[in-house]
């Protein structure tokens, strides 16, 4: 898992300029996203409780469908999303 996480971080930084953080603690992630947004850093989380609208927007950013308008810098993922991508609506 550690090598996979490192691979995702390096790949995302090269391709999109987005840092991916994997964390199983949703409440901690929500606190971090809130704090980063208060610092005007576009941070988001993708987990099973993320709204469908937010999921779609994040996936469009990652697919490259939103390039010019995207300011996403940090994306938090849960291990469940990585092990079961079908859980994303």
- Which tokens is 68 given? 């010019």
In the structure, what pLDDT confidence band is assigned to residue 65 with cuts at 50, 70 and 90? confident
Where is average pLDDT lowest: 47-51, 68-72, 80-84?
68-72
CA torsion through residues 38, 39, 40, 43, sign: negative
Sketch out the chain's domains with CATH numbers: 2-78 (3.40.50.300)
pLDDT (tens digit per residue) in 33-48:
999 999 988 999 999 8
User: Phi-psi category of 17—alpha, beta or left, where left has phi over 0 and alpha has psi -120 to 50?
Assistant: left
Report pLDDT for 23: 92
Band the pLDDT of 5: cuts 50, 70, 90: low
């Amino acid at each position: 898992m550690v090598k996979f996480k490192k691979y995702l971080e390096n790949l995302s930084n090269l391709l999109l300029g987005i840092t991916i953080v994997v964390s199983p603690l949703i409440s901690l992630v929500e606190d971090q996203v809130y704090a980063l947004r208060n610092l005007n850093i576009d941070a988001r989380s993708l987990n099973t409780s993320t709204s469908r609208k937010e999921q779609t927007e994040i996936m469009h950013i990652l697919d490259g469908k939103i390039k010019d308008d995207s300011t996403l810098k940090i994306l938090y993922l849960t291990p469940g999303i990585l092990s079961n991508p079908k859980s994303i609506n």
